[in-house]
Amino acid sequence: MSDRPFVLSDAVQAGMSPSRLKGADLHRPSRGIRVPKSFSPEIAALVRSHTCLDTDTFASLVTAAQIHGVPLPPWAQFRPDGGGPVTAVVEPVPWGKKSGAHFREPGRFLHLSRKGGGTLPRRKGVAGHRLRIRAGDFIDVDGLRLTSVARTWVDLGSILPIEDLIVAGDAIVSEHNRTFAEERLPMVSLAELRTFVEGANGIHGVRKAREAVEKLRVGVDSPPETRLRLMLDDAGLPEFVPDCRIDDALGRPVWTDLGCPRFRTCLEYEGLHHLTPEQQAFDAYRDQRVSEAGWRQVKINRFDMERGSEWVVSRVRQALRKQGWHR
């Protein structure tokens, strides 16, 4: 218990004295919970300290998403004040009323829920909700209770803008099996997520989730790739599909981040890992094979995206026109 969040009842049973539990090296984020100041905030451990106190409470919404590893926009990610445990106080409001501070600044709070009909979780630093839980909505991972990936994604529809919801959804359904990398398995397959959304009547966020699920694509590697794809779709360009296979001059497969087979144009989003010498050598060989196959390639990076859609779209539009697209 020396370096992890813990509940007072466990500490007392372990023999910790009352004076030790009042030590200056311990935060008191909420009643019955202590967190060592040396603890590097880990959202799952913080949630576990709450659910140990109340077996009816479980993680939900952005908190469950973060534990599952679903990408969220920065403003929705849990960020304890000052790098330590949360200290903000919120008066929980009934589910669906979005006037509370935890809907304006959801990243400041742990989002904990109880099943519909129960009382709201009311604790310091906690945004409390009541959820209607059905079969398949709730899971237990090593004693940590939280909403399932599919249910969490639908709930996110009540908080996230549509683009961020699609980014999260693309990450959930992403899968691929390439010759040069380990196989990637989805958290939930696109077919399973569609089925779940179809049957999610009455869940807040389902209307937006039903709109978003139609725009999900399998094979995306990162949130910027999803945002790039949506940017091009909004501009009315021909569709670019993720994880597009190109056969080189010898018939060997090359995978590109986004590709438009009709006009033999492909896009690569280059993150920081592309700066390593090893990756640059790999990229140069890939680029040569793509060119020899008759495809035109456009490389996009963070600075291009920061310049905005007009800049990015103009670059891609120019490449498409050189490949025969006219508009």
Residue predicted with more confidence, 120 or 92: 120
224 vs 17, 58, 314, CA distance in Å? Answer: 51, 31, 18
In contact, 132 and 144? CB cutoff 8 Å:
no
Determine how β-strand 144-147 pairs with β-strand 126-131.
Answer: unpaired
What's the pLDDT tens digit per position in 197-227? 999 999 999 999 999 999 999 999 999 999 9
Q: What is the rounded average pLDDT of the residues 287-301? A: 94
Structure confidence at residue 183 as a pLDDT band (50, 70, 90): confident
Identify the pLDDT of residue 179.
64
What's the pLDDT tens digit per position in 84-117? 333 333 333 333 344 344 555 677 788 998 887 6
Structure confidence at residue 3 as a pLDDT band (50, 70, 90): low
% of the chain at pLDDT higher than 70: 75
Tell me how crowded residue 146 is: count the other CB atoms within 10 A of its CB. 26
Q: What is the rounded average pLDDT of the residues 13-33? A: 56
Identify the pLDDT of residue 36.
55
Q: What is the rounded average pLDDT of the residues 117-131? A: 78
CA 56 to chain centre: 25
> What are the residues whose beta carbons fall under 8 Å from the beta carbon of 291, sequence distance 6 or more?
297
In contact, 191 and 90? CB cutoff 8 Å:
no
In contact, 230 and 163? CB cutoff 8 Å:
yes
Q: What is the rounded average pLDDT of the residues 276-282? A: 74
Residue predicted with more confidence, 258 or 17: 258
Identify the pLDDT of residue 200.
93
Mean per-residue pLDDT of the chain? 81
Identify the pLDDT of residue 104.
54
Task: For 150-278, list the strands marked E by DSSP.
Answer: 241-247, 253-260, 265-270
- Is the pLDDT score of 169 beyond 80? yes
Compute, in degrees rounded to 10, the torsion defined by CA atoms 118, 119, 123, 128.
Answer: 70
Residue with tokens 């237990």: 140
Q: What is the rounded average pLDDT of the residues 17-21? A: 59
Identify the pLDDT of residue 155.
96
Identify the pLDDT of residue 166.
98
Lowest-confidence range among 38-42, 99-103, 136-140, 163-167?
99-103
Residue predicted with more confidence, 105 or 327: 327
Contacts 24+ apart (CB under 8 A), 317-324: 317/235, 317/237, 319/265, 320/237, 320/238, 320/260, 320/263, 320/265, 322/296, 323/263, 323/264, 323/265, 323/296, 324/263
User: Model-level pTM?
Assistant: 0.80
Domains of the chain: 6-147 (no CATH), 157-218 (no CATH), 220-327 (3.40.960)
- Is the pLDDT score of 170 beyond 70? yes
Structure confidence at residue 126 as a pLDDT band (50, 70, 90): confident
The three-state secondary structure class of 33 is: strand
